């Protein structure tokens, strides 16, 4: 359906036309069509970035792509860094630095409602990087400008982390990669290119000469120079024997097949597709947005070709764009008498027809299975998300019971508060019920994280306000209970170490990231006029427990250096706690008369009094300063 939409608009034809102009100038070209501005990048560059020597993956620059940097931060241990092709990133930076590209873009933004970046071959990767740059910039200024990227025969650009980041930012719909059925270029970087250096050099020369040499001379162009260039192209083809072409073709085909069977990229050092792929044939087009399905179709379609078609298809996008547009103007039907079990199966059959894979070909069965999986995977994450929403509503009573427990603890005559009451709990039914609810809620959220990490949920799930807020509320409400259980009766921390470094569950670290990366509204920056219902630092009580141990150690420590470190830690925590109390970012249970925090303040006050009375025994601590 999306492929049909693209084919029915002038987007493909306008983009391709400008790509040809940009390639002729070997730079970038700009065109306007009403409120839409097109920016096309040449597929012929001074540096052959497809050369094996330029193919390393490097981390993206946070200064140019701030929207992507946070998805590859080193602190996020579970995340692979976002990385892109070093040679292509260098080309983008060079264009950004040494041309008037940036200034032209700001002019375009003032005059246009939509911007379409496009490019053929290597120009497609520059178009993708330009789109990422503009999306990151627009995100920082909240602009309504519409941005689209359409590439033709573009090589792969990045690792799988970029694909995840784009989906998490909800940018997937901005990228459309048009790929000819047998074009080897979009598949090249799924293979290690070092063994193929001589063949690649010859092919790059052939492609570049073909892209810069029209079939007929234009005004002002010498016919003989054109003929000479055509002869040179033929010489290059002759210099690359059929055996070498076949070797290149079979090697890339085997590597693409291996990637398709593996099902995922295999880590941060491997290239992987992102965005939407439109596979073009003589019979139409097939649109796929799942990376695994894209790689499988890359393999299955390439397997129906040969060495010559894989090389020549890189130069036939003008034909494919025209044919796709014509095919979708025609009414496509089925063989008379053909009956399908569902519209789903009918859609799979139409997609298989558009892929130009005949039913008698060996890859027909796997291709049909791949298309079925792609369609099924497209629906499954949203269905899973809907089911999770129902499950969340079912566990809401468990959370409500813990809230009631907290309210009763805060109002209790013992003045211990929520945390300390649970930490010192007995064998009552109420305490047992709250503990069981704590465990059940943890199981729900751990299951949700497993589904997210195994791609069973939409990639932008962690950006959805409902789930970000729900996870934050759960963390603030329940993590204090986990900390209390950890320190209960001086238990686990004696063997394992303190909670913050040795006991904190991974789910809370993940929820911290979700909360940090959310969009902050103006109301969140307003000053509080009353204490929070839940302490905003869910690890506050773990910090209190460490601070209490520091005071114990001060009483027994005789080493001056260690004492200095202990007092420094105590001073830092005292200042931090005072600050969040003043800002009313704590719940009133923190200030309960017999809470661990209130008892810590009393212990600290007593210790300071002792130090002033008996200076020979301890370092002198006065106004937060340590004097040996």
Domains and CATH numbers, the chain: 1-70+80-215+228-325 (3.40.50), 381-518+529-613 (no CATH)
Q: Is 587 helix (H, G, I), strand (E, B) or coil?
A: coil
Tokens of 341: 């079990």
Distance CA 101, CA 39 (A): 10
Q: Tell me what pLDDT residue 70 has.
A: 52
Tokens of 336: 């008379």
The residues that are catalytic are: 121, 183, 314
Q: Which of 394, 444, 402 is nearest to 533 (CA)?
A: 402
Q: Tell me what pLDDT residue 228 has.
A: 53
Cβ atoms within 10 Å of 622's Cβ, excluding its own: 10
Distance CA 433, CA 399 (A): 11
Q: Which residues contact 391 (CB under 8 A, 6 or more apart)?
A: 444
Q: Are 383 and 329 within 8 A, CB to CB?
A: no
Q: Are 90 and 77 within 8 A, CB to CB?
A: no
Q: Which of 291, 269, 299, 78 is nearest to 167 (CA)?
A: 291
Q: Are 40 and 127 within 8 A, CB to CB?
A: yes
- How far is CA 380 from each of CA 294, 348, 372, 443, rounded to the nearest angstrom? 17, 16, 12, 22
Q: Tell me what pLDDT residue 201 has.
A: 81
Q: Tell me what pLDDT residue 310 has.
A: 93
- Condensed to tens digits (0 to 9), the pLDDT of residues 321-365 reads 888 766 654 545 444 445 445 555 555 666 666 667 776 677 777
What is the model's pTM? 0.72
Handedness of CA 88, 90, 91, 93 (dihedral sign): positive
Q: Which residues of the chain have pLDDT under 50?
A: 72-78, 215-224, 226, 238, 329, 331, 333-337, 339-340, 616-618, 620-622, 624, 627-628
Helix H or strand E segment including 32: strand 28-33
Distance CA 626, CA 319 (A): 79
Cβ atoms within 10 Å of 355's Cβ, excluding its own: 26
Distance CA 389, CA 80 (A): 28
Q: Are 157 and 128 within 8 A, CB to CB?
A: yes
Q: Tell me what pLDDT residue 440 has.
A: 96
Tokens of 56: 């390393």
Dmax (CA) of the chain = 103
Q: Is 243 helix (H, G, I), strand (E, B) or coil?
A: helix
Long-range contacts of 517-522 (CB under 8 A, 24+ apart): 517/70, 517/462, 517/463, 518/463, 518/465, 518/468
Q: Which residues contact 537 (CB under 8 A, 6 or more apart)?
A: 543, 580, 585, 586
Q: Tell me what pLDDT residue 265 has.
A: 59
């Amino acid at each position: 359906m999306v492929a049909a939409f693209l084919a029915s608009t002038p987007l493909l034809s306008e983009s391709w036309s400008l790509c040809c102009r940009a390639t002729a100038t070997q730079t970038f070209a700009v065109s306007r069509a009403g409120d839409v501005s097109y920016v096309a990048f040449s597929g012929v560059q001074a540096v052959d970035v497809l050369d094996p020597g330029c193919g390393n993956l490097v981390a993206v620059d946070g200064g140019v792509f701030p929207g992507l940097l946070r998805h590859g931060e080193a602190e996020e241990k579970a995340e692979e860094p976002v990385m892109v092709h070093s040679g292509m990133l260098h080309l983008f930076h060079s264009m950004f630095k040494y041309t008037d590209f940036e200034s032209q873009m700001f002019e375009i933004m003032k005059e246009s409602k939509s911007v379409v970046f496009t490019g053929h071959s290597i120009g497609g990767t520059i178009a993708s990087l330009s789109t990422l740059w503009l999306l990151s910039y627009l995100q920082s200024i909240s602009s309504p400008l519409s941005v689209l990227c359409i590439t033709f025969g573009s090589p792969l650009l990045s690792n799988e982390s970029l694909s995840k980041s784009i989906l998490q930012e909800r940018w997937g719909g901005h990228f459309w990669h048009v790929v000819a059925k047998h074009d080897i270029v979009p598949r090249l970087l799924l293979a290690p290119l070092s063994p193929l250096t001589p063949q690649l050099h010859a092919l790059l020369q052939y492609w570049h000469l073909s892209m810069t040499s029209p079939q007929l001379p234009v005004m002002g162009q010498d016919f003989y120079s054109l003929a000479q260039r055509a002869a040179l192209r033929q010489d290059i083809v002759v210099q690359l024997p059929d055996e070498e072409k076949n070797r290149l073709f079979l090697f890339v085909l085997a590597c693409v097949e291996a990637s398709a069977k593996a099902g995922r990229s295999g880590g941060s050092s491997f290239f992987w597709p992102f965005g939407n792929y439109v596979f073009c044939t003589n019979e139409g087009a097939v649109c796929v947005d799942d990376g695994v399905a894209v790689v499988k179709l890359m393999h299955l379609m390439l397997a129906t070709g040969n060495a010559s078609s894989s090389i020549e298809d890189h130069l036939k996008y003008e034909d494919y764009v025209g044919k796709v547009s014509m095919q979708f103007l025609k009414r496509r039907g089925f063989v008379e008498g053909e009956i399908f079990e569902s519209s789903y199966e009918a859609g799979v059959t139409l997609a298989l027809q558009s892929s130009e894979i005949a039913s008698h070909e060996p890859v027909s069965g796997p291709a049909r299975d791949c298309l079925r999986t792609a369609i099924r995977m497209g629906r499954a994450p949203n269905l899973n998300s809907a089911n999770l929403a129902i499950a969340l509503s079912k566990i809401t009573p468990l959370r409500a019971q813990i809230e009631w427990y907290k309210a009763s603890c805060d109002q209790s005559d013992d003045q211990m508060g929520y945390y300390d009451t649970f930490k010192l709990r007995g064998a009552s039914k109420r305490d047992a019920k709250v503990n069981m609810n704590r465990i059940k809620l943890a199981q729900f959220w751990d299951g949700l994280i497993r589904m997210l990490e195994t791609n069973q949920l939409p990639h932008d799930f962690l950006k959805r306000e409902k789930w970000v807020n729900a996870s934050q509320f759960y963390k603030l409400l329940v993590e204090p209970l986990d900390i209390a259980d950890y320190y209960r009766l001086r238990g686990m921390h004696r063997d394992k170490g303190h909670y913050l470094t040795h006991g904190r569950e991974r789910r809370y670290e993940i929820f911290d990231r979700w909360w940090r990366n959310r969009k902050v509204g103006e109301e969140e920056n307003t000053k509080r006029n009353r204490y929070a219902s839940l302490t905003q630092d869910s690890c506050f009580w773990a910090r209190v427990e460490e601070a209490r141990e520091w005071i114990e150690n001060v009483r027994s420590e005789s080493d001056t250096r260690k004492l200095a470190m202990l007092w420094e830690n105590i001073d830092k925590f005292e200042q931090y706690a005072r600050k969040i109390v003043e800002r009313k970012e704590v719940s009133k249970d923190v200030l309960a008369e017999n809470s661990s925090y209130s008892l810590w303040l009393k212990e600290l006050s007593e210790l300071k009094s002792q130090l002033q009375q008996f200076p020979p025994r301890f370092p002198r601590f006065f106004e937060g300063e340590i004097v040996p």
